[in-house]
Structure 1
Amino acid sequence: MKIHPLVTDTQTLAALCDRLARSPFVTVDTEFMRENTYYPDLCLIQIADDKEAAAIDPKAKGLSLKPLLDLLVENREVLKIFHAGGQDLEIVHNLTGKTPYPLFDTQVAAMALGMGEQVGYSNLVESMIGVKLDKGARFTDWARRPLDARQIDYAIGDVTHLSTIFPKMLDKLRRTGRGEWLDTEMERLGDAASYLNIPDLAWTRIKVSSRKADVLGRLKALGAWREHEAQGKNLPRGRIVKDETLADIASHPPKTQADLAKVRGLSPNWAGNDIGGRLMAALEAAQPLPDEEMPVRDDRRPGLGKESALIADLLKLLLKIRAREADVAPRLIARSEELEAIAAGVRTGLTLLSGWRYDVFGKDAIALVEGRTAFSVRNGKLLMSEISGE
């Protein structure tokens, strides 16, 4: 495989992308920093097919990423391959408002091949092609320039090995007939809506014990306020205000801005500065959370009550059994929230109730919840037994 020098100009990038556009697939990875920023700071992009590979310096003066971004989000003929690509896709979405398509994630594919739920890249490489990766540059400062040869070699390895692994994984998926098992997961990963940081929904990520409409209304207002502050300053949310402080303010709102000096987690300066004033304005504008936005309590789900946790635990046990038998990661079959929904009596709108997931697990999950099957032990092995009707 031909490894190009670091790409730092638009003309070279355009020529590279023109050649890659003729390939059936490209492998993609990024290096970024986000410890001190709201948005990830893109520092390097690596791309390869089965013939050539290059690292691209997005910080190079005068370089336009348009040829590369067009290849990733506008070209529908070339398959884009990532490993654990969620944050890479977020970066592309931030730059374009779109996600790469068509899309393939080797970490997701590994679940269908029984390699675990979150297999790391180095473990995947060693397992699939017997190469042990040098992790020496793993925690490098990718924003610092110039990048040395070792850093670039390390970064390019993330896509050159992937271009060797992908055909092998694809062959295994075809032989086992599990390629279609990945469709839902790839669609979920590539859903552009999941990469939108909508301020009015930020509160849903903050834990608070209260279910009072006025408290949640204040939390919604505070969550949106913090999101705007973090985006505008390009700072991590926690650098503005930590979650637990927002939850405390929502539950016990200060009467005046001067009272902010008494709030644990806030600087006393907030009692008189502009950001404290904006926080108070958000609080004053807060409205009780409407009924349609109120979170549903677990104990209000139909048909459950205090036994719901036990039912969900039984379903998790059944899921482990069926996943082991199928040699597939349990998470690819069903997620915890889907098991809880089944236990709650939900029978529509769940992925595990259709297609291969239903055949592997869903039909047995329904039978267990409805009392038509039970667990039994035979020769030291846990089995499912059908319960005979009276």
Structure 2
Amino acid sequence: MHIHPLITDTETLEKLCERLARADFVTVDTEFMRENTYWPDLCLFQVASHEEAAAIDPKAEGLDLTPLLNLLVNNEHVLKVFHAGGQDIEIIFNLTGGTPHPMFDTQIAAMALGLGEQVGYSNLCESLLGRSLDKGARFTDWARRPLDRRQIDYAIGDVTHLAELFPKMLERLKRTGRGEWLDQEMERISNPANYVNDPGQAWKKVKIQSRKPEVLGRLKALAAWRELEARSKNLPRGRIMKDETLADVAMHPPARQEALGQVRGLSAAWKGNDIGARMMEVLVNADPLPASELPPREERSPGLGREGALVADLLKLLLKIRARESNVAPRLVARSEELEQLAAGRREGLGILQGWRYEEFGRDALDLVEGRLAFAIRGGKLVMTRTEAETIA
């Protein structure tokens, strides 16, 4: 494979992208810094086909990333391959408003091949390529210039190894007939809606021990305000206010700004500064959360009940057994909330009752819930057995 020198000009990037547009697939990775900013600071783009690989410097003066972004987002003929690509895709979405398509994520594919639920890239390389990766530059300062040779080699290695991994994984998927298992998952992670950061929904990520509409209304207003403050200053949201403090203020709102100096997690300066004043204005004007937006009363599915909770636990045990037998990661087959919904009596719209998930697990799950399947111990091992009524039928 030909490795190009670091690309720092638009003309060279255009020629690279013209060649990559003729490839069957392109592997993609990024290096970025996010410790001190709200928006990820993109420091490097790496791409490879089975013939060539390159790192592109987005910080190079005068470099226009448009040819690369067009290849990733607008070219439907080239498959884009990532490993655990969520943050890479987020960066591309922030730059373009779109996401790579079609795409393939090797971490998700590893789940279908029984290689683990969230297998790391280095472990995947060791498992499939028999190769240990150099991790020495993993915690480097990618924003600092110039980048040295070791940094660039380390970064390019991520996509060159990926270009070897992908065909091997694809062959295994074809051999096992599990390629179609991944279609829905790949479409899901390439959906642009996953990467829209709506300040109005930020409160849902903050843990709070209350369901009172007035408390949740304050939480929603505060979380949206914090999001906008963090964006405007390009600071991590935790630098504005940590989640625990946000929840505490929502539950126990101070009556006056002067009291902010006594709030754990806020500096004393908040009792008299502008940011404290802005936060107090948000608190005062916060409306109670509408009933239509209230979260479920329990983490478990509504209507599950005590007996249903026990059935859900049995379904999780069945999932472990079937996943082990099929050598597939349980999380790829079913989510806990689906099992709880099935236990609560729901039958419509569940992924586990459709397609390959039904064949691998859903049919047995339904039989267990409806009394046609039971657990038994044989030879010291836990197995599934048809009930007597089912056998007679």
- What TM-score results when the alignment is normalised by the length of structure 1? 0.97
User: Would you say the 8 A contact 1:72–1:101 is kept in 2?
Assistant: yes
**Which amino acid counterpart does residue 348 of structure 1 have in structure 2?**
E
**Which amino acid counterpart does residue 221 of structure 1 have in structure 2?**
A
User: Would you say the 8 A contact 2:296–2:302 is kept in 1?
Assistant: no
Structure 2 CA distance, aligned partners of 1:65 and 1:312?
Answer: 49
Structure 2 CA distance, aligned partners of 1:80 and 1:379?
Answer: 48
Structure 1 CA distance, aligned partners of 2:38 and 2:92?
Answer: 15
**Which amino acid counterpart does residue 296 of structure 1 have in structure 2?**
P
Residue-by-residue CA offset, 1:101-147 (whole Å, 9 max, x unaligned): 00000111111111111111111111111111111111111111111
C-alpha spacing 1:199/1:137, structure 2 compared with 1 (3 Å): same
**Where does structure 1 lack aligned partners over 5 or more consecutive residues?**
none
**Which amino acid counterpart does residue 369 of structure 1 have in structure 2?**
V
Structure 2 CA distance, aligned partners of 1:299 and 1:124?
Answer: 34
**Which amino acid counterpart does residue 229 of structure 1 have in structure 2?**
E
Structure 1 CA distance, aligned partners of 2:244 and 2:307?
Answer: 30
C-alpha spacing 1:83/1:345, structure 2 compared with 1 (3 Å): same
Secondary structure of the 1:145 match is coil
Secondary structure of the 2:197 match is coil
What's 1:251 paired with?
251
What's 2:375 paired with?
375
Q: Does 1:46 align with 2:46?
A: yes
Structure 2 CA distance, aligned partners of 1:99 and 1:176?
Answer: 29
Secondary structure of the 2:289 match is coil
* Moved beyond 4 Å, runs of 4+: 299-303
Structure 2 CA distance, aligned partners of 1:343 and 1:239?
Answer: 42
What's 1:27 paired with?
27
Secondary structure of the 2:358 match is helix
Structure 1 position 307, deviation (Å): 3.5
Secondary structure of the 1:298 match is coil
What's 2:10 paired with?
10
Using the aligned pairs only, state the percent identity.
70
Structure 1 position 287, deviation (Å): 0.7
Structure 1 CA distance, aligned partners of 2:226 and 2:62?
Answer: 34
**Which amino acid counterpart does residue 113 of structure 1 have in structure 2?**
L
User: Would you say the 8 A contact 2:301–2:337 is kept in 1?
Assistant: no
User: Would you say the 8 A contact 2:200–2:220 is kept in 1?
Assistant: yes
Q: Does 1:114 align with 2:78?
A: no
Counterparts of 1:151-230 in structure 2, within 5 Å, are: 151-230=151-230
Secondary structure of the 1:46 match is strand
Structure 1 position 167, deviation (Å): 1.0
**Which amino acid counterpart does residue 183 of structure 2 have in structure 1?**
D
Structure 1 position 308, deviation (Å): 4.3
What's 2:126 paired with?
126
**Which amino acid counterpart does residue 279 of structure 1 have in structure 2?**
M
**Which amino acid counterpart does residue 386 of structure 1 have in structure 2?**
R
What's 2:327 paired with?
327
C-alpha spacing 1:98/1:74, structure 2 compared with 1 (3 Å): same
User: Would you say the 8 A contact 1:85–1:105 is kept in 2?
Assistant: yes
**Which amino acid counterpart does residue 365 of structure 2 have in structure 1?**
A
Q: Does 1:346 align with 2:354?
A: no
**Which amino acid counterpart does residue 23 of structure 1 have in structure 2?**
A
Structure 1 position 157, deviation (Å): 0.6
Secondary structure of the 1:185 match is helix
C-alpha spacing 1:308/1:244, structure 2 compared with 1 (3 Å): farther
Q: Which moved more, 1:337-346 or 1:371-380?
A: 337-346
What's 1:75 paired with?
75
RMSD: 1.3
User: Would you say the 8 A contact 1:28–1:159 is kept in 2?
Assistant: yes
Structure 2 CA distance, aligned partners of 1:299 and 1:283?
Answer: 27
**Which amino acid counterpart does residue 281 of structure 1 have in structure 2?**
E
User: Would you say the 8 A contact 1:31–1:142 is kept in 2?
Assistant: yes
Counterparts of 1:48-67 in structure 2, within 5 Å, are: 48-67=48-67
What's 1:312 paired with?
312
Structure 1 CA distance, aligned partners of 2:366 and 2:288?
Answer: 38
C-alpha spacing 1:34/1:379, structure 2 compared with 1 (3 Å): same
Structure 1 position 43, deviation (Å): 0.7
Residue-by-residue CA offset, 1:187-244 (whole Å, 9 max, x unaligned): 1111111111100100000011111111111110011001101111111111100111
**Where does structure 2 lack aligned partners over 5 or more consecutive residues?**
none
Q: Which moved more, 1:308-317 or 1:177-186?
A: 308-317
Q: Which moved more, 1:120-129 or 1:290-299?
A: 290-299
Secondary structure of the 2:27 match is strand
User: Would you say the 8 A contact 1:299–1:306 is kept in 2?
Assistant: no
Structure 2 CA distance, aligned partners of 1:303 and 1:226?
Answer: 35
User: Would you say the 8 A contact 1:302–1:345 is kept in 2?
Assistant: no
- What TM-score results when the alignment is normalised by the length of structure 2? 0.97
Secondary structure of the 1:306 match is helix
Residue-by-residue CA offset, 1:141-166 (whole Å, 9 max, x unaligned): 11111111011111101111111111
Structure 1 CA distance, aligned partners of 2:122 and 2:304?
Answer: 43
Structure 2 CA distance, aligned partners of 1:46 and 1:219?
Answer: 40
User: Would you say the 8 A contact 1:103–1:186 is kept in 2?
Assistant: yes
User: Would you say the 8 A contact 2:301–2:340 is kept in 1?
Assistant: no
Structure 1 position 67, deviation (Å): 0.5
Structure 1 position 17, deviation (Å): 0.4
Residue-by-residue CA offset, 1:14-57 (whole Å, 9 max, x unaligned): 11001100111100001111111111111111000010000001
Structure 1 CA distance, aligned partners of 2:262 and 2:384?
Answer: 58
Structure 1 position 303, deviation (Å): 4.4
Count of residues in Structure 1 that have an aligned counterpart in Structure 2 = 390
Structure 1 CA distance, aligned partners of 2:42 and 2:26?
Answer: 19
User: Would you say the 8 A contact 1:299–1:305 is kept in 2?
Assistant: no
**Which amino acid counterpart does residue 261 of structure 1 have in structure 2?**
G
